[in-house]
Amino acid sequence: MGRGGDLTSQERAFVHNKIMQNWDSEKRQIKVGGREKIIKACIKGGVRVSATTVKRIAREAKRQEEESENHFLNTGEFKGMDHSACRKGKCGRISKLTEPVKEVYRDIISRYAFSWTRLSEAKLWEELKKKGLNFSTSTVHEHLKLLEKRYKKVYLKPILSEQNKILRMRYALAQVNRSHGRSKLRFKDNKRTIMVDESWFYLTSDAVTVMLIEEMDVLIHPKVQHKSHIEKIMFLAVLGQPQKVIWKGEEIDFDGKIGLFPCTEEVATRRVSKAGPKGTRVQVNKNVDAEFYHNLFCLVGGVYDMIEAKMPWLAGDPYFIQQDGARPHTANGTIEDLVAGGTGEGFTPVIVTQPPNSPDLNVNDLGFFASLKVDVKRICTHCTSRQEMMVNVMKAFEEHPREKIDGIWASWFNNLRSVMSCDGGNDYKQAHNGGKKRKRETGSAIDLTVNLVDYDRCVRLCR
């Protein structure tokens, strides 16, 4: 194992001073038992050294002392001690990781990465052998550390047609506030926008990693009839943007959570089952058709009632509800019925359908569902009943922190800029633009700035 970082000149002088306090002048070596005293004294003084380091500094000091004596005899001048590091310039063994070798690594790794194939260190070692590089597995591991190896999870993304890209650019352009002139283009704050979407939640995970210690082991595994038939429940999530609002002289700190609605219905069992005797009330999945979707919004305790309870300041002016383009959401007359069902008592909803194949433009698909499912797994990864699962999901929803939702909205605004930068495509890297710092300084991670170059190009492409 190689040496660590060099001691500073002051630290070397400190260690040398402790060595001199335990130095046998006659034998010209450290006194018996003195090395341990030196180490303890150095640690007490804030300089951590090993026995090998003490021995090396003592040897160097002895050599310099002899040179100093010879120099004095020859010239009559005294030569002082040099406490600088003895390693100067390039030291140690010559690395095998030369530029030609790096090119071989890049060629192999890029070939696997760009074909979306996982490459293990063992497989990489075999590929290197085929190229005539007979490194040991430990050498390959060290080379990868020097090359800053990391793994990235590559997800499937929707295929976008040219028309899809145009619609995505138009959507991003529609979010721009042009009322203050071209020099002050900013995104609309969208504080009157609500986003809805559905997602499946599974009662159990296919596999889970648990922590064990000592001789502990898990021999009894969770069981299901078949992994392709794991029970699941669909939930409709309704999110707004976290914000502080003064309404009727009172400050309301809205956390962005409007509601989470299970797409189920309660029925009585027709026979004795694992749920209980005949007539037991159980929750079963309900097919989300246009009628059921309408009822989720319009029935008592539904989406509209929760919006009016959680965001009463929306009354007076129209507010927007964004949904995806699933057939039950956009069937003939569905949008008109939804608007009619939510209009009244000063509330006027406007239903907006997001561009097709664009989950990155809805905060639920963008990050909320993934974050919520992680929180549900932390509560329980193997639920034995649908009722237990529903309780866990609702608990995770209620406890979901406001800061995460604000961060997801900030990512949504970042995605608008990214969509414009790649002409409506989805092959972009998730932007990181100082959201945490902005959160500390302004209270929100959201950035409303617009890139004028990207904006002008998208306007030309959408004509």
| Residue 5 token pair | 């970082």
Q: What is the DSSP code string of 133-163? A: ----HHHHHHHHHHTT----PPPP-----HH
Q: How far, in Å, CA of 134 to CA of 384, rounded?
A: 53
- For residue 211, the surrounding DSSP H or E stretch is none
Instruction: Quote the pLDDT of residue 427.
Output: 92
From the list 145, 104, 155, the residue with the least C-alpha distance to 127 is: 104
Cα–Cα distances (Å) from 356 to 160, 171, 359, 365, in that order, read: 9, 11, 8, 13
56 burial via Cβ count (<10 Å: 0-12, 13-18, 19+): middle
Instruction: Quote the pLDDT of residue 124.
Output: 95
287 close to 293: Cβ distance less than 8 angstroms: no
What are phi and psi for residue 95, nearest 5 degrees?
A: -70, 140
| Residue 260 token pair | 């989470």
Instruction: Quote the pLDDT of residue 86.
Output: 67
Instruction: Quote the pLDDT of residue 1.
Output: 42
* Torsion angle of the four alpha carbons 223, 224, 227, 231, in this order, in degrees rounded to the nearest 10: -130
Instruction: Quote the pLDDT of residue 381.
Output: 87
Cα–Cα distances (Å) from 374 to 127, 229, 359, 379, 394, in that order, read: 37, 21, 19, 9, 13
- 198 CA to centre of own chain: 22
Instruction: Quote the pLDDT of residue 209.
Output: 85
Q: Could you list the mean pLDDT of each consecutive 10-residue stretch along the chain, which spans 463 residues?
A: 68 87 84 87 86 87 84 79 71 82 95 93 95 94 93 91 96 93 91 96 86 87 82 95 93 95 89 82 88 94 95 94 94 92 94 95 96 93 88 96 95 96 93 88 93 95 91
List Cβ neighbours of 13 (8 Å cut-off, separation of 6 or more). Answer: 81, 83
β-bridge pairing 193-202 and 186-187: unpaired
From the list 322, 314, 319, the residue with the least C-alpha distance to 412 is: 322
Instruction: Quote the pLDDT of residue 4.
Output: 59
CA atoms 150, 155, 160, 166: torsion sign = negative
Q: How far, in Å, CA of 136 to CA of 27, rounded?
A: 46
Instruction: Quote the pLDDT of residue 24.
Output: 84
- In single-letter form, the type of residue at position 337 comes to D
Instruction: Quote the pLDDT of residue 89.
Output: 64
Q: Thinking of the domain 163-219+227-461, which architecture would CATH place it in? A: 2-Layer Sandwich (3.30)
- The pTM (predicted TM-score) of the whole model is 0.77
102 close to 128: Cβ distance less than 8 angstroms: no
What residue segments make up the domains of the chain, in order of their start?
9-75, 99-146, 163-219+227-461
Q: How far, in Å, CA of 162 to CA of 424, rounded?
A: 9
- In single-letter form, the type of residue at position 27 comes to K
369 burial via Cβ count (<10 Å: 0-12, 13-18, 19+): buried
Query: Alpha-carbon Rg of the chain, whole angstroms?
Result: 34
